[in-house]
Structure 1
Amino acid sequence: MSTVMTWAGDMTWGWDFAARCLLISAAYAVTWPLVARSRRHAEEQDRQHMRAIREARRDRR
């Protein structure tokens, strides 16, 4: 039986490896939409901030 040392630890190429991959995939599937939503929210706030700066500069003239 071959053994491989990876960032996930010492594991064999078998069901344990498949289960670990499935767990990582499930965690990624759960967290990715939250990360994307947070990023979209931050981008929208940035757009509003830049718009407010442009309007303030325009009003100053």
Structure 2
Amino acid sequence: MQYNDEVQKIINNLKEHCQKKQDIIDKGQPDEKVHWEAVGRVNALSHAIQELEFLYQTGKSKD
């Protein structure tokens, strides 16, 4: 059970970080470089979150 608790903590931390980057996008960042870096980060974090949630639910990684 300890393992699942740690995985859930990681998922929650990634979701918080992703939301902060999404807020940058939603507020309309005037600096285009910052905007596109945030978009890339949100995409990468979303993918990582999906992978970890699958691991959390099934105990297996996606192949």
TM-score range relative to shorter protein = 0.3 to 0.5
Higher fraction of strand: 1
The TM-score, its normalising length taken from structure 2, stands at 0.43
Give the number of the structure with larger relative contact order, counting CA–CA contacts within 8 Å between residues 6 or more apart.
Answer: 2
The TM-score, its normalising length taken from structure 1, stands at 0.44
Question: Higher Cα Rg: structure 1 or 2?
Answer: 1
